[in-house]
Amino acid sequence: MGEFFSWQRVWENFPRLIVKLPITFEIVIIAFAVGCTLGIIISFIELKRLPVLTQILHVFISFERGTPLLVQMLVMYYGLPLVLQALFGIDSRGWEKLTFVIITYTLNQAAFLSQDFRGAIISIPVGQREAALACGLSPVQASVRIILPQAIQVAVPSVGLELIGLFQDTSLVCMVGVIDIVGRAQSLGNLTSHTFESYLIVAFVFVVISLALTGINSLINRRLGLTGALRRKDGGEK
């Protein structure tokens, strides 16, 4: 048992692994923030049904939602430099690997969140928009001031779940050579020939942070009164 598992190795490896956690947070924060913004924009474009652009977005969303995230990351890592070089003459060989990872996760979040926001916008009664227009607001003002705040509130539960999923999905970034906490665990395992302790630490960190995010999401839902509303709705449907 001593050869297979050692608490001493756990204590020694913990600080070596935790220092790579900021890389994971960087990916999550940027991808989620930009993904939310793009998701809202995409949702409004879809609802407007703009010619050509809507069809392009449908293809994009189908690809993002229909393929594994790992495949998307590999396509972005190996394919984007070729596209940039062929179409724009941009040499991206000097770019950091983390840049391609963040682009991948941002686009993935944009696709998934756009459908969450789209459903939330549709759930807002049409009369709200009509009343805003009748009060003299422009269509853009009605969307930004009246529809969007309500839609965001409705979308909070599903958006929160997307954030938790995004954090857990960052465990894949080591597949393209980004040394995050999982990549560091692999390196330590190769260096010491003891992998169990490092991966146990990684599992612990992911569980703790995921539970914390789940708790924050539940707290926000309660503060917004969404939990009670959802329970009342479920009870009515039964």
Report the percentage of the chain scoring pLDDT > 70. 94
In angstroms, rounded to a whole number, what is the distance separating the alpha carbons of residues 43 and 153? 15
Count of other CB atoms within 10 angstroms of residue 142: 20
- Confidence check: pLDDT of 230 > 80: no
Q: What is the DSSP letter of 51?
A: T
> pLDDT, tens digit, for every residue of 13-34?
999 999 999 999 999 999 999 9
Contact 17, 198 (CB under 8 A): yes
- Structure confidence by residue, pLDDT tens digits, 115-173: 999 999 998 888 888 888 888 888 888 888 888 888 988 999 899 999 999 999 999 99
